[in-house]
Structure 1
């Protein structure tokens, strides 16, 4: 039917087409943004297994949030390298019609873990996390291993400030367990 060189060329062509059609495709697809109420979020904060839990509320339309984001991700990876069990809970405050933008931003940042989308009324969410919070973004909350809030910061944090808040929360855990 076909000569040997034509068959090889056909096979190579099919292989190239298959590889090209799957190039860049993510097998898992885009990460979901799981809707979360403040109550459900605080329940996740109290789940065992972390020395420190950092909750960061952000939005794609918030420039300080976007600038702070890479430092949050480095904080997570660096602390894992030194053996600190840090749980980072990222909560998008984007509007429901902006979830595509939020997913794209998370993918561009290389986020490969579960993230959340704020659900419910703004003031109820804000008051449940911390009555001092005015609702400004970004907002960062740091909890110890027992789910006790150890720090709150409204606005962009520097990496040094993040490290300081995490270290203080982590050392409070060690002091409580050594008593």
Structure 2
């Protein structure tokens, strides 16, 4: 009888507290481009990163902090992974879950960066991390081809609010 009780207790805990896994979509550049060109008054903070990029991983908590701090403002954080789409289930999803990322994460499924890099920013060399902050209604735009500290990211975003 004790075995049945412990089984039922374990089962009820499992059912009572379902973990919601972060969804990670795989998208093509035209879909990203369409979102970035949206004529809303929302400020988008778009970080291009990869699981294998040390500086990228180091700055991710700063973007999560921005997401939390500006949750009641028209600010949207989008984390664009440049990992291979084939690594979605093996690397990206486990990484997102392990790090507890709550910002929207997408994997950009493009094989030729030269076909889209310039469309994001003509000056972007392709190195990571790369951050784009954009508000289409105010026509403000800022880019950073480096790791951003929390203070740098917050100061940059303040120019948009």
Give the TM-score normalised by structure 2: 0.83
Structure 2 residue aligned with 1:36? 27
User: CA offset at residue 115 of structure 1?
Assistant: 1.6
Q: Please tell me whether residue 91 in structure 1 is matched to residue 80 in structure 2.
A: yes
| Structure 1 residue 161 corresponds to structure 2 residue 134 | no
2:61 aligns with one of 55, 66, 70: 70
Number of residue pairs matched by the alignment: 159
Unaligned runs of 5+ in 2: none
TM-score (norm 1): 0.76
* Partner of residue 60, structure 1: 51
What's the offset of the Cα at 1:84?
2.1
Kept after mapping to 2: 8 A contact 1:46/1:146? no
Structure 1 or 2: larger helix share?
1
- Give the equivalent residue in structure 2 for 1:175: none
Per the alignment, residue 5 of structure 2 pairs with 12
Q: Which is greater in Rg?
A: 1
Distance of 2:40 and 2:5 partners within structure 1: 50
